[in-house]
Amino acid sequence: MIKSINPATDEEIKIYPEMDGSEINSILIKSDEVFELWRRTSFQQRADNLRRAGEILRKKKETLSHLMTVEMGKPIVQSRSEIDKCAMVCDYFAENAEKFLQDKKVDTDAANSFITYQPLGVILAIMPWNFPFWQVFRFAAPNLMAGNAGVLKHASNVTGCGLEIEDIFREAGFPDDLFRTLIIPSTGVAEIIKHGKIKAVTITGSTAAGKSVAETAGSVLKKSVLELGGSDPYIILEDADLERAADICVNSRLINSGQSCIAAKRFIIVKQVYSKFEGLFVEKMKSKIMGDPLKEDTNVGPLARKDLREELHAQVTKSVRFGAKVITGGKIPEGEGAYYPPTVLSNVQPEMPAYKQELFGPVASLIRARDEKDAIRIANDTVFGLGAAVFTQDIVRGERIAREELNAGNCFVNESVKSDERLPFGGVKESGYGRELSELGIKEFVNVKTVYRK
């Protein structure tokens, strides 16, 4: 049985029966059958359906936002924004998919030679709880437009969101079984990947989970795209607008109550402005309201589960044991719910979890750097490579650092790292490989086929 618990109140929401092997096999066979029909539909038909999905998202925004907040604790204002973003990605790929996937003529010695992009089949998506609608729609929108079918293994605590997404696609006019949600535990994922009807797999999750998925997919020669963890560094240089930088950094650290792979985590400040930035940063962190995620003024809700809170607190306490200093927060509050307060750690050093691990919650690590070169060194001193940012009023300097110096897939100047349907999104090193979104994302799960006629 799969159980959903409200992380703000500890109350049980619903229990879902797990699907057995026979039911899963039947779903995958039907998905493959409907794929063979779907792949021959026009881009116009696919786009019409996807636009309707966007309309349904907007129409049901309040209901869907409430479900998201109750299931995983996201502040309600952020839940509404997430639904809006899902509708936008539907509109974007409905508008652009045909252009992205049109045949590309290549001049050779042939009478005609070109590249064509053909769908692969049924794609498995293994998705996390932290953005329970957005993560799924940024996979589904391009892949359904490309002519693929999709099956979703969602995080168990947001099973309700997963089933709602299936219903949205069905209501929008997509064929039954083209997009299905599987209700299974994580232990059942390997067998799904190996199933003959699954042609590729994508996962957003932890590095450990990504390695496991990649190993299984590799053993059966199936393509995988991995969007994994991050320990995102934000560099604050001596010429930065410190007031604005502190605002952006605090908001980035606390997005989704700190539970985002691209949320700012390590703040690397050059020594000339360290003290001033620390003061601004701590003041702004203290001003944020932690509480009921259904209230409009809440900035920080609970973590998604209590075990995640315990893991985060263990990382904080170990860092303190190794010499980090707690400036604010750092204590588990009494009462119901999986709450953890906005926390700032200073004197963070390389041997500490707060320096080298991903802290998935509202905990910020402040690190002093000697100068720009030292700040870049510290920023890149991580196994991760998902997001990074630099703050400076010298735009040429900032773009140079972002382009040439920072080892991450998404590098921003004077702004928090975020995903945008128009830009490719993904990481390097232990943050994974492959790209989602944009023209590059829609081409991840297609057969890039050469056609040559003499």
Catalytic residue ranges? 227, 261
> Over the Cα atoms of the chain, what is R_g?
23
Phi and psi torsions of 159, nearest 5°:
-60, -40
CA distance 36 to 38: 6
CA distance 403 to 96: 27
* Conformational region of residue 121, where left means phi above 0, alpha means psi within -120 to 50, and beta covers everything else: left
CA distance 422 to 92: 8
269: Cβ–Cβ under 8 A, 6 or more apart, which residues?
235, 236, 277, 278, 366, 367, 368, 369, 375
The letter for the amino acid at 272 is Q
Q: Is the CB of residue 154 less than 8 Å from the CB of residue 188? A: no
The letter for the amino acid at 96 is N
CA distance 415 to 208: 29
The dihedral over CA atoms of 358, 70, 175, 90, expressed in degrees to the nearest 10, equals -60
CA distance 287 to 291: 13
- CA end-to-end span of the chain, whole Å? 59
DSSP state, 7?
Answer: T
Q: Is the CB of residue 32 less than 8 Å from the CB of residue 149? A: yes
Which of 340, 287, 292, 288 minimizes the C-alpha distance to 313?
340
Q: Is the CB of residue 302 less than 8 Å from the CB of residue 7? A: yes
DSSP state, 402?
Answer: I
Alpha helices in 237-352 (DSSP H): 242-254, 274-287, 306-321
